[in-house]
Structure 1
Amino acid sequence: MHYIYIGLAGAFGAMLRYSAGLLFMTDHVFPYATLLVNLLGSFLLAWLTYGLFKKVRLEEKMKMVITTGFVGSFTTFSAVSVETVELFQNQSMLLGCVYIFVSLVGGLGMSEIGFRVGKGVSEK
């Protein structure tokens, strides 16, 4: 049954990811939607892990449903990889490098913010 819950949460995360892609779709070469989703997902995972889950006691299985199922399907490293290769193949080397840098440093920064916000929530 646990696998079914992870699958359902994953389906919801994937649908939300797809909707964000449609909402933030632009004619620009730069993959803004994927970047935004991954930065938000980095924040969300850290906030859940270090904040909400410290304050609200959930079974480990339910935490996995939320983090692996929902957040895992909402964010996507594979899309970052493919979109970066596409930028490079389209001779957009600078944009590709900016995308990698912002994805990595931005993701780490958003995780740090999520950690700090979550820690503040759990201490209240």
Structure 2
Amino acid sequence: MSIPITFTGVALVAIGGAFGSVARYAISGTVTQWLQTIAPATRFPWHTWSINLLGCLIMGVMAGFALRHDWLNQSMRLLLMTGLMGGFTTFSAFGLEALDLVLQKHWSTALAYTLSSVVLGVLAVAIGLFLSSGSLSLQR
């Protein structure tokens, strides 16, 4: 399905993206500060990992509510799912950090980070979808 690009759509994505980015920045900073007190020498990028999993959970919840309650029209989808969650989740940072771990030859950390992000991210979406819709189906 092709979605036409309009000024309103761009504005909704930009507004959502701004809020999502600020939320990512705040939560990531908090997680980083907390982790420095309990695991100062860790190389695992916990801040990005936690944002990605939380973002997947929230995306699943939104998808479930949208299916169950039919409240997510095209404008809300652009604002919340494309904008807010696009600004909040950090898979581009994930890719860069995973590559950095590989280039530094931290093989086991790179493998653990990559696999756990993907597997637990999919699981978090499934949990969010089930919690918000009572089903693991994306069909109405």
Query: What's the TM-score once normalised by structure 1's chain length?
Result: 0.88
The alignment partner of 2:123 has SS state of helix
Is it true that 1:93 corresponds to 2:107 in the alignment?
yes
Please give the per-residue CA displacement for 1:55-93, whole angstroms capped at 9, x wherever unaligned.
Answer: 252422212210000011100211111101111122211
Aligned pairs, number? 121
1:111 to 110, 121, 125: 125
Gaps of 5+ in 1: none
Q: Which of the pair has more CA radius of gyration?
A: 2
Q: Which moved more, 1:81-90 or 1:94-103?
A: 81-90
Give the CA RMSD over aligned residues. Answer: 1.7
**Structure 2 portions without partners, runs of 5+:** 1-7, 136-140
Tell me, in whole angstroms, the C-alpha distance in 1 between the residues paired with 2:73 and 2:95: 33
| Pairing of 1:1-124 with structure 2 (within 5 A) | 1-25=8-32, 26=36, 27=40, 28-52=42-66, 54-55=68-69, 57-120=71-134
Identical amino acids, percent of aligned pairs? 27
**C-alpha separation in 2, matches of 1:120 and 1:36:** 25
Letter in 2 for 1:107: G
The answer (yes or no) to whether the contact 2:12–2:78 under 8 Å persists in 1 is: no
